């Protein structure tokens, strides 16, 4: 029986706080999601030389950036002289653009309820408006020469969180373990989140902003659940959604599952 107590495996970088390996989760076939093949992260715009060496040690071949153009311009990934292939697959869901929403929060124009609803709506839109992007993402994973691969958005929790969920589901992970991985962001970015909130200062005049920022920088089960509910309203199951919406049929699903599975020893 595989232990999931130490999952997910976070990899400490100096310039990123939510970088982790999807490997290790038990799969329906009896094996596990292979370690060292697929990684998720927040943006890579603050990588140090030591971080780039870590990516080299992990043998990363591909970085997939799910951010909007404005986010990339503000914090371009620092992959200088790494030889890593960069692939841009923008998910331009407004509710998932944490950087711009954070500015609205810090200006006092977005409260905690609005921040939370932004994230619910963003997850619904991943299903209804961005099938083409997630289709391209799964097709890229299907190419062995692209692996090992890391995908990211800005905070590594919403657009990347949905991509991670699809990847784990197609490999045969349970929804319970998918949600475990999704919610792990709250532990992985705890120090970063506390630092951001603390930077606002103290006092009643910033308390609403502090609460809203704290909400914005976390994930809740209901956010990803909103994507699953939207999926269920239009498709019979996840496989049907992948086949019809993502042009990722049963044969492709089986091939990707085999590629990502570490057989039971």
| Domains recognised in the chain with CATH numbers | 15-258 (3.90.190.10)
Cα-Cα end-to-end distance for the chain: 11
* 183, 187, 188, 189: CA torsion to nearest 10: 100
Whole-angstrom Cα distance, residue 192 to residue 98?
14
Q: Quote the pLDDT of residue 2.
A: 45
Q: Quote the pLDDT of residue 1.
A: 39
Q: Quote the pLDDT of residue 207.
A: 83
Cβ 189 vs Cβ 217: under 8 Å: yes
Q: Hey, how many other C-beta atoms are within 10 angstroms of the C-beta on 35?
A: 13
Q: Quote the pLDDT of residue 97.
A: 62
Per-residue pLDDT 10s for the chain (265 aa) are 345 567 889 999 999 999 999 999 999 999 999 999 999 999 999 999 999 999 999 999 999 999 999 899 999 999 999 999 999 999 986 655 666 677 777 777 778 888 899 899 999 999 999 999 999 999 999 999 999 999 999 999 999 999 999 999 999 999 999 999 999 999 999 998 888 878 877 776 678 888 888 888 899 999 999 999 999 999 999 999 999 999 999 999 999 999 999 987 6
CA distances to 81, 117, 135, 253 from 154, rounded to whole Å, are 22, 18, 20, 28
**Structure token digits, residue 93:** 């869901």
Q: Quote the pLDDT of residue 94.
A: 62
Edge-to-edge, what's the strand order for the sheet holding 38-41?
9-10, 20-21, 38-41, 149-152, 62-65, 85-88
The values of phi and psi at residue 86, to 5°, are -100, 130
> Residue 127: enclosing H or E segment and its boundaries?
helix 112-128
3-state secondary structure 201-239: CCCHHHHHHHHHHHHHCCCCHHHHHHHHHHHHHHCCCHH
Whole-angstrom Cα distance, residue 184 to residue 176?
12
Cβ 168 vs Cβ 184: under 8 Å: no
**Whether the predicted model's global pTM rises above the 0.95 cut:** no
DSSP 95: G
């Amino acid at each position: 029986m595989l232990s999931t107590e130490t999952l997910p495996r976070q990899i400490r970088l100096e310039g990123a706080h939510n970088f982790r390996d999807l490997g290790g989760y038990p799969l329906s076939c009896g094996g596990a999601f292979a370690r060292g093949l697929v990684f998720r992260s927040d943006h890579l715009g603050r990588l140090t030389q030591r971080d780039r060496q870590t990516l080299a040690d992990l043998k990363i071949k591909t970085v997939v950036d799910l951010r909007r153009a404005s986010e990339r311009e503000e914090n371009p990934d620092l992959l200088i002289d790494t030889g890593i292939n960069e692939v841009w697959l923008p998910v331009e869901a407004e509710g998932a653009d944490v950087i711009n929403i954070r500015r609205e929060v810090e200006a006092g124009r977005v409260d905690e309820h609005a921040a939370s609803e932004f994230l619910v709506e963003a997850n619904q839109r991943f299903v209804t408006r961005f099938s083409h992007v997630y289709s391209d993402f799964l097709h890229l994973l299907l190419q062995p020469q692209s692996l090992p691969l890391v995908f990211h958005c800005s905070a590594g929790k919403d657009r990347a969180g949905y991509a991670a969920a699809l990847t784990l589901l197609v490999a045969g992970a349970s929804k319970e373990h998918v949600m475990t991985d999704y919610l792990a962001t709250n532990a992985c970015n705890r120090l970063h989140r506390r630092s951001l909130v603390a930077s606002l200062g103290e006092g009643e005049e910033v308390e609403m902003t502090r609460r809203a920022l704290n909400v914005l920088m976390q994930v809740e089960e209901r956010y990803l659940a909103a994507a699953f509910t939207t999926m269920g309203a239009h498709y019979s199951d996840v496989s049907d959604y992948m086949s019809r919406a993502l042009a990722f049929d049963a044969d492709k699903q089986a091939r990707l599952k085999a590629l990502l599975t570490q057989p039971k020893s």
